[in-house]
Each structure stands twice: as C-alpha cells, then as structure tokens.
Structure 1
Amino acid sequence: MAEVEIYTTPTCPYCHAAKSMLRDKGVDFEEISVLDPALRQKMTERAHGRRTVPQIFIGDLHVGGYDDMAALERRGGLDPLLAR
C-alpha cells in the first residue's frame, strides 16, 4: 500500500473527514500537524502554494484537500492510488 501523509490542524472538520475516509478504507497514514509554522511552510511548498488543510499526499502525488480526495473516490481513482 502507498505511503499516505496528511497535513492537518486539530480543529479542522475537513481534516477529520479526510482521516475518517482513510480509516474507513483501512489506510494507515502519517498525520502532520501544521500548528508549527515551519511544518506549514513545508506543506505549502509541497502543495504548490496551497495553504489550507488538509493537504493529502499519496506517495509523491499531491492529491489536494478533502474535497479533491472525495471527488477522486467518487470517480473510482482513489483505491488504485492507494494500492500502489
């Protein structure tokens, strides 16, 4: 299974929804809190300037935020990425 990283903040409802979706699929992920400004900067650089959370990465691929991941799931594209 592909390595999944998700940048979050503790109170973000979209972060909770993204983590719930991944857990429901049985996916292990690394959660990175961006309360630390240095980690938020790293996220912003990796996410091509996007500063909102969550920002989700599957392997080296930037999936985007929760809405992007949910749309990918609806199109049937999430599981193949996770299986890599």
Structure 2
Amino acid sequence: MGQDATPAAAQPPITLYTSAICGYCVAAKTFLRSRGLSWDEVRVDLDPAEREAMVARSRRSTVPQIFIGEVHVGGYDDMMALHRAGKFDELLR
C-alpha cells in the first residue's frame, strides 16, 4: 500500500443540514448510507440558530445543504451531479 492510499477511517467529516419534512434530505441520507459513509446531521427545523449558521455557511436557505469537510457540495441534486460526473469520491479523499 503506497502513501496515496487513504483508509476509510480518514474520510473527511460529512455534515448534512436537514429538516424533518424533506424528501431530498431522506434521499441524501439514503445515498450516503448506500456508500457506507457516515455523517453528522444538523436539524435546522429544531434550532433557529443552526438555520442561521447554515445560511451563513452555505449562502442558501433550503435543505439539505451538504458539506464534505469545509467544501460546500450544495443540495441533493448537486451531490448527485458530482457523483454522476465521478467527482464525488474525489471529495472523500
């Protein structure tokens, strides 16, 4: 195994800003779960301060908002577009 190999444990943190009534949030979690990935979920519907933090960080007010490390992926459609383009896995390295 060379230095370029990245163990799964080195996955950058994934943060999902979500709300309870959000089909795209469920779809995003289902996709991440299917890839064997873990994430931190921040429910913006339960805490107005978290919603403010999400908007400040992402410049968007809709959920989900997805971050891999400090990289703002965007919403579910943005994440799937990255995946289809073969660029999602690059963010996990």
Could you state the TM-score of these two structures normalised by the residue count of structure 1?
Answer: 0.95
Partner of 2:77: 67
- How does 1:1-84 map onto structure 2 within 5 Å? 1-35=11-45, 36-47=47-58, 49-82=59-92, 84=93
Q: Show structure 2 runs of 5+ residues with no match.
A: 1-10
CA distance in 2, matches of 1:11, 1:19: 13
Q: How far did 1:80 drift?
A: 1.6
- Structure number, greater radius of gyration: 2
Using the TM superposition, give the Cα deviation of residue 72 of structure 1 relative to its aligned residue in structure 2, in angstroms. Answer: 0.3
The one-character-per-residue Cα deviations of 1:49-72 (angstroms, maximum 9, x if unpaired) are 200000000000000000000000
Q: Percent identity?
A: 54
Q: What's the secondary structure of 2:62's corresponding residue?
A: coil
AA partner of residue 26 (structure 2): H
Q: How many residues align?
A: 82
Unaligned stretches of 5+ residues in structure 1? none
Alignment RMSD (CA, Å):
0.6
Higher RCO structure (Cα 8 Å, ≥6 apart):
1
Tell me by how many angstroms 1:2 deviates. Answer: 1.2
Runs of 4+ in 1 over 2 A off after TM superposition: none
